[in-house]
Amino acid sequence: MKFIDLTHVVQPGMTVFPGTQPPVFDVGSSIETDGFEEKKITMFSHTGTHMDAPAHIIPGALTLDQFDIEQFGGQACVVDVGGIETAKIEVGDLEARAELIGVCDFVILRSGWSRLWESEEYFRDFPVLSPAAAQWLVEAGIKGLGIDMISVDEVDSTELAVHNILLSANLVIIENLTNLEPLPDSVFSFYCFPLRIDQADGSPVRAVAAI
């Protein structure tokens, strides 16, 4: 079995959603002065490769710590959306992979946008699901959706339509995946475990594929 790491490195000054502060690393203890090394890391819950809980958008909805652990792993497949000619990913783009999606727990949209990580272009013009396509995924019965982009909605969206559709159905959303190019054109195992944080609206994850 081969593991493929799909996770961005968390580090000071990294790419974050516009308006969010990047992580701050402080030396809490050092080997020279204390005999051991320990860092204090301050960051938002939606930093880097991370997971959105329903409670991120919907009042009173599930937090990540309320899900069973099984929610965070299962079978997955990739839908390539890098070549679509519109800004919206439509139902037809998903139906082409309907047979694979039907046996999967996670769908991963591969746009190629992660190549723009650490640039201003990363926040602009990436493809997003249409509301109808988001609803199609809900009806497919998956556990979650992963993307190699900053958000499932446009950065300047105020309605957050796709977030609302997916999270209202208790799916989880994994944003800012990377290194999706080596993933196969078939079903594979996918794991994306969040930190076990009380009342977590979101959490960084270590996302991996097992081939």
- Residue 3: pLDDT band (50, 70, 90) is very high
Q: Which residues pair with 193 in a beta bridge?
A: 206
Q: Which residues pair with 79 in a beta bridge?
A: 109
pLDDT at 96: 92
pLDDT at 84: 78
Instruction: Give residue-wise pLDDT tens across range 112-146.
Output: 999 999 999 999 999 999 999 999 999 999 999 99
Angle between the N-to-C axes of helices 131-140 and 161-168, in degrees from 0 to 180, rounded to the nearest 10: 10
Q: Which domains are seen in the chain, by residue range? A: 3-210 (3.50.30.50)
The DSSP annotation for the chain comes to --EEE--PPP-TT----TTSPPPEEEEEE-HHHHSS-EEEEE--TT-SSEEE-GGGTSTT---GGGS-GGGGEEEEEEEE-TT-SSSEE-HHHHHTTHHHHTT-SEEEEE-SGGGGTTSGGGGSS--EE-HHHHHHHHHHT-SEEEESSS-SS-TT-SS-HHHHHHHHTT-EEEES----TT--SS-EEEEEEEP--TT-SEEEEEEEEE-
What is the chain's mean pLDDT, rounded? 97
Q: Judging by beta carbons within 10 Å of its beta carbon (0-12, 13-18, 19+), is residue 152 exposed, middle or buried? A: buried
What is the identity of the amino acid at 204?
P
Give the closest residue to 135 by CA, choosing from 195, 199, 89, 76.
89
Residue 201 φ then ψ, to 5°: -80, -15
What is the reported pTM?
A: 0.97
pLDDT at 121: 96
- Residue 169: pLDDT band (50, 70, 90) is very high
Instruction: Give residue-wise pLDDT tens across range 63-96.
Output: 999 999 999 999 999 999 998 767 799 999 999 9
pLDDT at 85: 66
Instruction: Give residue-wise pLDDT tens across range 19-56.
Output: 999 999 999 999 999 999 999 999 999 999 999 999 99
Distance CA 130, CA 103 (A): 22
pLDDT at 200: 98
User: Which sign does the torsion angle of CA 93, 94, 100, 105 carry?
Assistant: positive
pLDDT at 83: 81
As a whole number, mean pLDDT of residues 198-203 equals 98
